Protein backbone atom coordinates (compact mmCIF):
# COMPACT_ATOMS: atom_id res chain seq x y z
CA UNK A 1 0.00 0.00 0.00
CA UNK A 2 1.45 3.35 -1.05
CA UNK A 3 1.84 6.14 1.46
CA UNK A 4 -0.37 9.19 1.12
CA UNK A 5 1.84 12.20 0.30
CA UNK A 6 1.85 15.05 2.81
CA UNK A 7 1.28 18.30 0.85
CA UNK A 8 2.99 21.53 1.83
CA UNK A 9 -0.37 23.23 2.08
CA UNK A 10 -3.85 21.96 1.40
CA UNK A 11 -6.93 24.19 1.73
CA UNK A 12 -9.26 22.93 4.44
CA UNK A 13 -12.96 23.11 3.66
CA UNK A 14 -15.57 23.07 6.41
CA UNK A 15 -18.30 21.74 4.13
CA UNK A 16 -20.49 24.85 4.30
CA UNK A 17 -18.64 26.96 1.73
CA UNK A 18 -20.77 25.96 -1.28
CA UNK A 19 -23.96 26.20 0.77
CA UNK A 20 -23.23 29.81 1.73
CA UNK A 21 -22.06 30.69 -1.78
CA UNK A 22 -25.36 29.33 -3.13
CA UNK A 23 -27.25 31.34 -0.52
CA UNK A 24 -25.49 34.52 -1.64
CA UNK A 25 -26.24 33.61 -5.26
CA UNK A 26 -29.95 33.11 -4.63
CA UNK A 27 -30.09 36.28 -2.54
CA UNK A 28 -28.95 38.14 -5.64
CA UNK A 29 -26.22 40.03 -3.77
CA UNK A 30 -22.92 39.39 -5.52
CA UNK A 31 -21.04 42.68 -5.16
CA UNK A 32 -19.30 43.67 -1.95
CA UNK A 33 -20.68 44.57 1.46
CA UNK A 34 -23.64 42.20 1.42
CA UNK A 35 -24.99 40.16 4.36
CA UNK A 36 -22.03 37.75 4.52
CA UNK A 37 -19.54 40.61 4.43
CA UNK A 38 -21.32 42.20 7.37
CA UNK A 39 -21.24 38.90 9.30
CA UNK A 40 -17.50 38.66 8.73
CA UNK A 41 -17.00 42.27 9.84
CA UNK A 42 -18.89 41.70 13.09
CA UNK A 43 -17.04 38.44 13.78
CA UNK A 44 -13.65 40.06 13.27
CA UNK A 45 -14.50 43.09 15.37
CA UNK A 46 -15.72 40.94 18.25
CA UNK A 47 -12.96 38.32 18.00
CA UNK A 48 -10.09 40.75 17.48
CA UNK A 49 -11.40 43.67 19.50
CA UNK A 50 -10.72 46.31 16.86
CA UNK A 51 -12.71 49.49 16.28
CA UNK A 52 -13.57 48.48 12.72
CA UNK A 53 -12.80 45.52 10.47
CA UNK A 54 -13.10 45.82 6.70
CA UNK A 55 -12.79 42.91 4.30
CA UNK A 56 -10.48 43.51 1.36
CA UNK A 57 -9.62 41.46 -1.71
CA UNK A 58 -6.18 40.65 -0.26
CA UNK A 59 -3.87 41.41 2.62
CA UNK A 60 -1.82 43.38 0.09
CA UNK A 61 -4.86 45.58 -0.47
CA UNK A 62 -5.27 46.05 3.29
CA UNK A 63 -1.65 47.21 3.54
CA UNK A 64 -2.15 49.55 0.60
CA UNK A 65 -5.16 51.02 2.38
CA UNK A 66 -3.00 51.49 5.47
CA UNK A 67 -0.44 53.44 3.45
CA UNK A 68 -3.16 55.74 2.12
CA UNK A 69 -4.66 56.17 5.60
CA UNK A 70 -1.27 57.22 6.96
CA UNK A 71 -0.89 59.77 4.12
CA UNK A 72 2.47 58.33 3.10
CA UNK A 73 4.28 60.79 0.84
CA UNK A 74 7.33 60.38 -1.41
CA UNK A 75 10.44 60.14 0.74
CA UNK A 76 8.65 59.04 3.91
CA UNK A 77 10.51 56.18 5.57
CA UNK A 78 8.82 53.01 6.78
CA UNK A 79 10.69 50.65 9.12
CA UNK A 80 10.08 46.96 8.45
CA UNK A 81 11.93 43.64 8.76
CA UNK A 82 14.33 42.61 6.03
CA UNK A 83 12.76 39.14 6.08
CA UNK A 84 9.20 39.53 4.83
CA UNK A 85 7.00 39.09 1.79
CA UNK A 86 7.12 41.70 -0.98
CA UNK A 87 3.64 43.06 -0.20
CA UNK A 88 4.90 44.57 3.06
CA UNK A 89 7.20 46.86 1.10
CA UNK A 90 5.14 47.29 -2.08
CA UNK A 91 2.18 48.82 -0.25
CA UNK A 92 4.29 51.77 0.88
CA UNK A 93 6.60 52.00 -2.13
CA UNK A 94 3.52 52.56 -4.32
CA UNK A 95 2.88 55.77 -2.32
CA UNK A 96 6.50 56.88 -2.70
CA UNK A 97 7.55 55.56 0.70
CA UNK A 98 11.07 54.29 1.32
CA UNK A 99 11.36 50.94 3.12
CA UNK A 100 14.04 50.92 5.79
CA UNK A 101 14.97 47.32 6.42
CA UNK A 102 15.90 46.23 9.93
CA UNK A 103 17.42 42.84 10.73
CA UNK A 104 15.45 40.09 12.44
CA UNK A 105 15.76 38.27 15.75
CA UNK A 106 17.53 34.93 15.71
CA UNK A 107 14.86 33.22 17.80
CA UNK A 108 11.54 34.13 16.15
CA UNK A 109 12.78 35.56 12.82
CA UNK A 110 10.68 38.63 13.62
CA UNK A 111 11.68 42.28 13.47
CA UNK A 112 14.42 42.89 16.04
CA UNK A 113 12.91 45.54 18.29
CA UNK A 114 16.34 46.37 19.72
CA UNK A 115 17.46 47.72 16.32
CA UNK A 116 14.47 49.92 15.56
CA UNK A 117 15.48 53.17 17.26
CA UNK A 118 18.84 53.31 15.49
CA UNK A 119 16.95 53.18 12.17
CA UNK A 120 14.66 56.12 12.97
CA UNK A 121 15.32 59.41 11.16
CA UNK A 122 13.36 62.67 10.79
CA UNK A 123 11.70 61.10 7.72
CA UNK A 124 10.39 58.03 9.54
CA UNK A 125 6.59 57.79 9.56
CA UNK A 126 5.71 54.25 10.61
CA UNK A 127 6.89 50.87 11.87
CA UNK A 128 5.56 47.69 10.25
CA UNK A 129 6.15 44.61 12.42
CA UNK A 130 5.51 41.31 10.63
CA UNK A 131 4.37 38.40 12.79
CA UNK A 132 6.27 35.59 11.10
CA UNK A 133 4.65 32.13 11.20
CA UNK A 134 1.94 33.49 13.49
CA UNK A 135 4.38 34.19 16.34
CA UNK A 136 4.09 37.71 17.71
CA UNK A 137 6.73 40.40 17.56
CA UNK A 138 7.63 42.07 20.87
CA UNK A 139 4.76 44.52 20.58
CA UNK A 140 5.12 46.17 24.01
CA UNK A 141 8.58 47.45 23.10
CA UNK A 142 7.59 48.34 19.54
CA UNK A 143 4.57 50.35 20.70
CA UNK A 144 6.70 52.12 23.32
CA UNK A 145 9.25 53.10 20.66
CA UNK A 146 6.48 54.34 18.36
CA UNK A 147 4.98 56.44 21.15
CA UNK A 148 8.36 57.99 22.03
CA UNK A 149 8.94 59.05 18.44
CA UNK A 150 5.39 59.87 17.36
CA UNK A 151 5.19 57.03 14.81
CA UNK A 152 2.30 54.91 13.61
CA UNK A 153 2.37 51.11 13.81
CA UNK A 154 0.88 48.88 11.11
CA UNK A 155 0.84 45.20 12.04
CA UNK A 156 1.37 42.91 9.07
CA UNK A 157 -0.52 39.99 10.59
CA UNK A 158 -1.01 38.16 7.30
CA UNK A 159 0.07 34.96 9.04
CA UNK A 160 -1.35 35.88 12.43
CA UNK A 161 -5.10 35.21 12.37
CA UNK A 162 -6.16 33.58 15.67
CA UNK A 163 -2.75 34.22 17.28
CA UNK A 164 -2.13 36.60 20.17
CA UNK A 165 0.44 38.52 22.18
CA UNK A 166 -0.10 38.65 25.94
CA UNK A 167 -3.79 38.00 25.42
CA UNK A 168 -4.25 40.56 22.64
CA UNK A 169 -5.12 39.35 19.15
CA UNK A 170 -2.42 40.02 16.58
CA UNK A 171 -3.53 42.90 14.40
CA UNK A 172 -5.32 44.61 17.31
CA UNK A 173 -2.29 46.20 18.98
CA UNK A 174 -0.96 48.73 16.47
CA UNK A 175 -2.88 51.62 14.94
CA UNK A 176 -3.78 49.36 12.02
CA UNK A 177 -3.54 45.65 11.28
CA UNK A 178 -3.79 43.52 8.16
CA UNK A 179 -4.95 39.90 7.79
CA UNK A 180 -4.69 37.46 4.90
CA UNK A 181 -7.24 34.83 3.91
CA UNK A 182 -5.23 33.56 0.96
CA UNK A 183 -5.46 29.85 0.18
CA UNK A 184 -2.13 29.24 1.96
CA UNK A 185 -3.33 30.72 5.26
CA UNK A 186 -5.12 29.08 8.20
CA UNK A 187 -8.54 30.56 7.42
CA UNK A 188 -9.16 31.02 3.74
CA UNK A 189 -11.37 32.49 1.05
CA UNK A 190 -9.12 31.73 -1.94
CA UNK A 191 -7.94 35.31 -2.10
CA UNK A 192 -8.93 37.83 0.53
CA UNK A 193 -7.85 39.92 3.46
CA UNK A 194 -8.99 42.42 6.05
CA UNK A 195 -7.92 45.78 7.39
CA UNK A 196 -8.25 46.15 11.15
CA UNK A 197 -8.68 49.73 12.32
CA UNK A 198 -7.77 50.14 15.97
CA UNK A 199 -7.72 53.94 16.04
CA UNK A 200 -11.38 55.06 15.93
CA UNK A 201 -10.29 58.36 14.36
CA UNK A 202 -9.28 56.45 11.22
CA UNK A 203 -12.45 54.37 10.86
CA UNK A 204 -14.49 56.72 8.67
CA UNK A 205 -11.59 57.47 6.32
CA UNK A 206 -10.89 53.75 6.02
CA UNK A 207 -14.46 53.18 4.79
CA UNK A 208 -14.12 56.02 2.30
CA UNK A 209 -10.76 54.86 0.92
CA UNK A 210 -12.09 51.30 0.55
CA UNK A 211 -15.12 52.54 -1.41
CA UNK A 212 -13.24 54.35 -4.19
CA UNK A 213 -12.89 57.49 -2.10
CA UNK A 214 -16.64 57.95 -1.64
CA UNK A 215 -18.92 58.04 1.38
CA UNK A 216 -21.08 55.26 -0.10
CA UNK A 217 -21.15 53.33 3.19
CA UNK A 218 -22.60 56.34 5.00
CA UNK A 219 -25.24 56.65 2.27
CA UNK A 220 -26.38 53.07 2.79
CA UNK A 221 -26.63 53.76 6.53
CA UNK A 222 -28.86 56.78 5.73
CA UNK A 223 -26.29 59.15 7.22
CA UNK A 224 -26.14 61.25 4.02
CA UNK A 225 -28.77 61.80 1.30
CA UNK A 226 -26.35 60.96 -1.53
CA UNK A 227 -22.82 59.65 -1.76
CA UNK A 228 -20.06 61.69 -3.31
CA UNK A 229 -16.32 61.62 -3.91
CA UNK A 230 -14.52 62.61 -0.71
CA UNK A 231 -10.84 61.87 -1.39
CA UNK A 232 -8.62 59.56 -3.47
CA UNK A 233 -9.32 55.90 -2.87
CA UNK A 234 -9.77 52.67 -4.77
CA UNK A 235 -11.98 49.58 -4.99
CA UNK A 236 -10.64 47.41 -2.19
CA UNK A 237 -13.72 45.40 -1.20
CA UNK A 238 -14.18 41.75 -2.24
CA UNK A 239 -17.32 40.31 -3.79
CA UNK A 240 -20.00 38.69 -1.66
CA UNK A 241 -19.16 35.17 -2.85
CA UNK A 242 -15.70 35.54 -1.31
CA UNK A 243 -17.28 36.71 1.96
CA UNK A 244 -19.71 33.78 1.91
CA UNK A 245 -16.81 31.34 1.56
CA UNK A 246 -14.92 33.10 4.35
CA UNK A 247 -17.91 33.01 6.68
CA UNK A 248 -17.89 29.20 6.56
CA UNK A 249 -14.26 29.34 7.69
CA UNK A 250 -14.73 31.90 10.45
CA UNK A 251 -17.53 29.82 11.97
CA UNK A 252 -15.00 27.00 12.46
CA UNK A 253 -11.99 29.17 13.30
CA UNK A 254 -11.48 27.80 16.81
CA UNK A 255 -11.65 24.16 15.67
CA UNK A 256 -9.37 24.73 12.66
CA UNK A 257 -6.78 26.45 14.85
CA UNK A 258 -6.96 23.68 17.46
CA UNK A 259 -6.36 20.98 14.85
CA UNK A 260 -3.43 22.87 13.38
CA UNK A 261 -1.86 23.24 16.82
CA UNK A 262 -2.11 19.48 17.35
CA UNK A 263 -0.36 18.82 14.02
CA UNK A 264 2.27 21.49 14.76
CA UNK A 265 3.08 19.92 18.12
CA UNK A 266 3.44 16.50 16.53
CA UNK A 267 6.05 17.84 14.12
CA UNK A 268 7.74 19.62 17.01
CA UNK A 269 8.03 16.39 18.98
CA UNK A 270 9.17 14.33 15.99
CA UNK A 271 12.11 16.58 15.08
CA UNK A 272 13.27 17.13 18.67
CA UNK A 273 15.92 14.35 18.41
CA UNK A 274 17.35 16.02 15.30
CA UNK A 275 17.68 19.30 17.19
CA UNK A 276 19.43 17.46 20.04
CA UNK A 277 21.97 16.16 17.52
CA UNK A 278 22.62 19.66 16.19
CA UNK A 279 21.19 18.91 12.76
CA UNK A 280 18.52 21.60 12.84
CA UNK A 281 16.78 24.14 15.05
CA UNK A 282 13.08 24.02 15.82
CA UNK A 283 10.78 27.09 15.97
CA UNK A 284 10.92 29.15 19.16
CA UNK A 285 7.72 30.59 20.62
CA UNK A 286 8.47 33.12 23.40
CA UNK A 287 6.45 33.24 26.60
CA UNK A 288 3.34 35.36 26.19
CA UNK A 289 2.99 34.52 22.51
CA UNK A 290 0.14 32.19 21.57
CA UNK A 291 0.85 31.13 18.01
CA UNK A 292 -1.66 29.72 15.53
CA UNK A 293 0.39 26.91 13.95
CA UNK A 294 0.48 28.76 10.65
CA UNK A 295 3.54 26.83 9.52
CA UNK A 296 6.20 24.52 10.84
CA UNK A 297 9.71 25.51 9.81
CA UNK A 298 13.18 24.33 10.75
CA UNK A 299 16.50 26.14 10.50
CA UNK A 300 19.51 24.26 9.18
CA UNK A 301 23.14 24.93 9.96
CA UNK A 302 24.89 27.16 7.37
CA UNK A 303 26.99 24.19 6.29
CA UNK A 304 23.93 22.03 5.60
CA UNK A 305 22.82 21.29 2.06
CA UNK A 306 19.28 22.64 2.08
CA UNK A 307 18.46 21.23 -1.34
CA UNK A 308 19.59 17.75 -0.32
CA UNK A 309 17.28 17.88 2.71
CA UNK A 310 14.36 19.10 0.60
CA UNK A 311 14.99 16.41 -2.01
CA UNK A 312 15.05 13.68 0.62
CA UNK A 313 11.83 14.91 2.23
CA UNK A 314 10.07 15.09 -1.11
CA UNK A 315 11.29 11.61 -2.03
CA UNK A 316 9.65 10.50 1.23
CA UNK A 317 6.37 12.10 0.10
CA UNK A 318 6.72 15.02 2.51
CA UNK A 319 6.35 18.15 0.42
CA UNK A 320 8.77 20.73 1.87
CA UNK A 321 9.95 24.07 0.48
CA UNK A 322 12.13 26.99 1.50
CA UNK A 323 10.40 30.26 2.32
CA UNK A 324 10.66 33.68 0.70
CA UNK A 325 14.03 35.30 0.13
CA UNK A 326 14.77 38.37 2.31
CA UNK A 327 14.06 41.66 0.58
* pLDDT score of 1: 40
In a domain, 314, yes or no: no
Average pLDDT score over residue span 78-106 = 98
Residue 268 falls within a domain, yes or no?
Answer: no
Classify residue 260: in a domain, yes or no: no
3-class SS letters over the chain: CCCCCECCCCCCCCCCHHHHHHHHHHHCCCCCCCHHHHHHHHHHHHHHCCCEEEEECCHHHHHHHHHHHCCCCCCCEEEEECCCCHHHHHHHHCCCCEEEEECECCCCCCECHHHCHHHCCCCEEEECCECHHHCCCCHHHHHHHHHHHCCEEEEECCCCCCCEECCEECCCCCCEEEEECCCCCCCCCCCCEEEEECCHHHHHHHHHHHECCECHHHHHCCCCCCCCECCCCCECCCCHHHHHHHHHHHCCHHHHHHHHHHHHHHHHHHCHHHHHCCCEECCCCCCCEECCCCCCCCEECCCCCHHHHHHHHHHCCECCCCCCCCC
Cβ contact 239:185 at 8 Å: no
- Asked if residue 311 is part of any domain, the answer here is no
Between CA 52 and CA 169 the distance in angstroms is 14
Determine, yes or no, domain membership for 240.
yes
297 domain-assigned: no
**Lowest mean per-residue pLDDT among 19-23, 160-164, 257-261, 310-314:** 310-314
Give the domain CATH number at 235. Answer: 3.40.640.10
Q: What SS3 string covers 117-137?
A: HHHCCCCEEEECCECHHHCCC
For residue 305, pLDDT beyond 90 = no
pLDDT at res. 7: 84
Predicted confidence (pLDDT) per residue in 176-231, tens digit: 999 999 999 999 999 999 999 999 999 999 999 999 989 888 888 888 888 899 99
Is the confidence at residue 166, as pLDDT, over 80?
yes
Give me the pLDDT at residue 254, please.
Answer: 98
Parent domain of 226: 17-250
Query: Which residues, in sequence order, are bridge partners of residue 290?
Result: 164
Query: Considering the entire predicted model, what is its pTM?
Result: 0.95
Answer yes or no: is 148 within a domain.
yes
**pLDDT of amino acid 216:** 87
Could you tell me if residue 117 is inside a domain? Answer: yes
Determine contact, residues 86/109, Cβ cutoff 8 Å.
no
Number of domains in the chain: 1
Amino acid sequence: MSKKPIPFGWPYMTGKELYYIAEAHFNGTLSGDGPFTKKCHVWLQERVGCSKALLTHSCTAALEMAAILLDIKPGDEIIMPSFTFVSTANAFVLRGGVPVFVDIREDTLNLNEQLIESAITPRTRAIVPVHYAGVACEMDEIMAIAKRHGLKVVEDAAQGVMASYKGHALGSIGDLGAYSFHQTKNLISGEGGALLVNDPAMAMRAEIIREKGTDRSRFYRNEVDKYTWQEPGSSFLPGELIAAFLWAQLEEAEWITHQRLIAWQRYHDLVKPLEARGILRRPIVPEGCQHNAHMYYVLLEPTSDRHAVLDELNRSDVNAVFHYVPL
